[in-house]
């Protein structure tokens, strides 16, 4: 097998990659924000013209807005990647190794370095024993290249070189 291509991954690609992690870090702030926002709205609606209750409802809504802002910032911190992650990256995939480089970085790993892999709609994800995750975007692959790579990775699984990854359901 010899598959070689250069591809620049988009910010949207990374949004899809990290959506689960973004939701996970935002959730502890988003849930209380929603609860406090609804509670504040209910207090304001029930208050009528009672100033103290209107003020309490307003405070709850303000706290909810602040928590929602923190949730958004935490999510954004997780899913927005540096510009150099979106630079064109060259991939060379052979029977022996996975090689990837940009103008600033490079890596060459034997396939045996990967302990698990997962095939997704837009990428193959591979993880090393050290916990580093590598991706191979599927968009630039031809149908034939995609089939060859999928078959090769299936052989790695069958040989026990890597284990299939469980999908994170969070």
Coil, strand or helix at 52:
helix
**What is the mean predicted confidence (pLDDT) over 56-76?**
93
The pLDDT of residue 163: 57
How many structural domains does the chain have?
Answer: 2
- CATH code for position 156: 2.30.29
pLDDT per position as a tens digit, 91-103: 999 999 999 999 8
**What is the mean predicted confidence (pLDDT) over 154-167?**
68
Mark whether 30 and 64 lie in a shared domain. Answer: yes
Asked whether 37 and 68 are in contact (CB, 8 A), the reply is yes
> Whole domain around residue 151: which residue ranges?
88-164
pLDDT per position as a tens digit, 4-55: 999 998 888 777 777 777 888 899 999 999 999 999 999 988 877 788 888 8
Asked whether 61 and 37 are in contact (CB, 8 A), the reply is yes
Within-domain flag for 5: no
């Amino acid at each position: 097998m010899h598959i070689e291509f250069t591809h620049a991954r988009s910010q949207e690609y990374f949004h899809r990659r990290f959506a689960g992690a973004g939701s996970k870090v935002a959730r502890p702030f988003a849930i209380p924000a929603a609860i406090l926002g609804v509670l504040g709205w209910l207090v304001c609606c029930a208050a009528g013209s009672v100033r103290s209750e209107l003020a309490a409802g307003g405070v709850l809504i303000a706290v909810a807005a602040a928590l929602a802002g923190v949730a958004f910032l935490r999510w954004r911190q997780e899913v927005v990647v540096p510009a150099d992650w979106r630079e064109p990256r060259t991939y060379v995939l052979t029977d022996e190794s996975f090689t990837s480089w940009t103008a600033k970085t490079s890596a060459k790993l034997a396939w045996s370095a990967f302990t698990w892999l997962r095939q997704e709609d837009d990428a193959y994800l591979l993880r090393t024993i050290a916990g580093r995750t590598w991706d191979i975007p599927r968009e630039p692959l031809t149908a034939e290249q995609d089939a060859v790579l999928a078959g090769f990775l299936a052989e790695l699984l069958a040989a026990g070189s890597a284990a299939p990854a469980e999908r994170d359901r969070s």
